[in-house]
Structure 1
């Protein structure tokens, strides 16, 4: 993924919607958006903490990424590569 600035084109949304939640059911578009946005905020917080010298509060990207990659793009790639799984509440 590093060096390729594909954005939302890669991974395709159809492949992301085929991911399943903890109950084995496909996730909806709304669940995907909320899940990816929540993870993107965590990644953004990680980078903010990194500049402040605090490395213990947040988990950084779980996939290879470059400086140009946005947190939401990183989150979508993590979902596509099965690094994250949606848990039911």
Structure 2
């Protein structure tokens, strides 16, 4: 080595092992951090519009920090409370979950739409000077 010390950044800071202590599995960590990163990204986007729907970063973040890095730092610092949804539909016999009623209702209403009428397209066979091209 050349005498320089490696300074881990990004996903290695905070370490993955530390992050996994806060969730059940690595898959839950991915979902958890991605949802929070989307909220942080939406927060920065809405600042320009003057809206305050989402909460900004809960840890010190530099301007160069990406939303996912900030989300992982928040998870590691125990700044977030994760809630598990209990209203998730159960799997049917075929192993596929049933769709929510709203989506099914939209799909049912599209069956009533009549198909568009066909329109015959006729090409103009005249030249620019008004004579036929035969």
What is the TM-score normalised by the length of structure 1? 0.82
**Number of matched pairs:** 79
Extract unaligned runs of 5+ from structure 1. 21-26
List 4+ stretches of structure 1 deviating above 6 A: none
Q: RMSD of aligned C-alpha atoms? A: 1.7
Q: Which has the higher contact order (CA 8 A, sep 6+)?
A: 1
User: Residue in 2 aligned with 1:53?
Assistant: 50
Alpha-carbon displacement from aligned partner over 1:33-57 (angstroms, at most 9, x marks no partner)? 0000000000000000012221x21
Shift of 1:80: 0.1
For the pair shown, the structure with the greater C-alpha radius of gyration is 2
| Inter-partner Cα distance in structure 1 for 2:69 and 2:8 | 9
Q: Distance in 1 between matches of 2:66 and 2:82?
A: 21
Q: Which structure has more helix as a fraction of its residues?
A: 1
